[in-house]
Amino acid sequence: MRLSEFLSQSPLYDDLSGSDIDTLEQIMMVRDYHDGHQFFGERSRAESVYLLMSGEVSVTARGRGSRGAAEIKRMKPGELFGLVALIGHERRSASCRAVGPVTAASLPRSAFDLLFESNSPLPQHFRLVVARQLARDTRSLLDELRREIFSQAQSA
Partner 1 sequence: MAISADEIRRKFPEIAGRFHGQTLDVLARAFSLHEVPEGQALIRDGTAADTVYLVWEGRLVAFLEGPGMSVELGHVGPGQWVGEVSMLDAGPAVATVQAETDAKLLGIGRREFKELNRDHPEVAGVILRLLVHLMIERLRRADELMLGAAADTGRSTAADEPADHWGVKVYRRLMGLSERAT
How far from 16 is each of 20, 27, 72, 109, 128, CA to CA, in Å? 6, 15, 29, 20, 10
| Rounded Cα–Cα distance for residues 108 and 27 (Å) | 9
Identity of the residue, 36 or 151, whose beta carbon is nearer to partner 1 in the bound complex: 151
Binds partner 1 (CB under 8 A): choice among 77, 108, 111, 132: 132
68 binds partner 1 (CB under 8 A): yes
88 binds partner 1 (CB under 8 A): yes
**CB-side neighbour CA atoms (13 Å) of 114:** 10
Helix (H, G, I), strand (E, B) or coil at 68: coil
Contact between residue 85 and residue 91 where contact means Cβ atoms under 8 Å apart: yes
150 binds partner 1 (CB under 8 A): yes
152 binds partner 1 (CB under 8 A): yes
38 binds partner 1 (CB under 8 A): no
146 binds partner 1 (CB under 8 A): yes
Which residues, 6+ apart, have CB-to-CB distance to 20 below 8 Å? 121, 122, 125, 126
Identity of the residue, 34 or 119, whose beta carbon is nearer to partner 1 in the bound complex: 119
Binds partner 1 (CB under 8 A): choice among 19, 38, 110, 138: 138
- The site that binds partner 1 (CB under 8 A) totals a number of residues, namely 43
19 binds partner 1 (CB under 8 A): no
Contact between residue 40 and residue 81 where contact means Cβ atoms under 8 Å apart: no
How far from 10 is each of 21, 81, 105, CA to CA, in Å? 12, 16, 14
Minimum gap (Å) between residue 111 Cβ and partner 1: 17
Helix (H, G, I), strand (E, B) or coil at 67: coil
Minimum gap (Å) between residue 30 Cβ and partner 1: 25
- Which residues make up the interface to partner 1 (CB under 8 A)? 15, 61-68, 83-84, 87-88, 90, 93-94, 116, 119, 121, 123-125, 127-128, 130-132, 134-139, 141-142, 145-146, 148-150, 152-153, 156
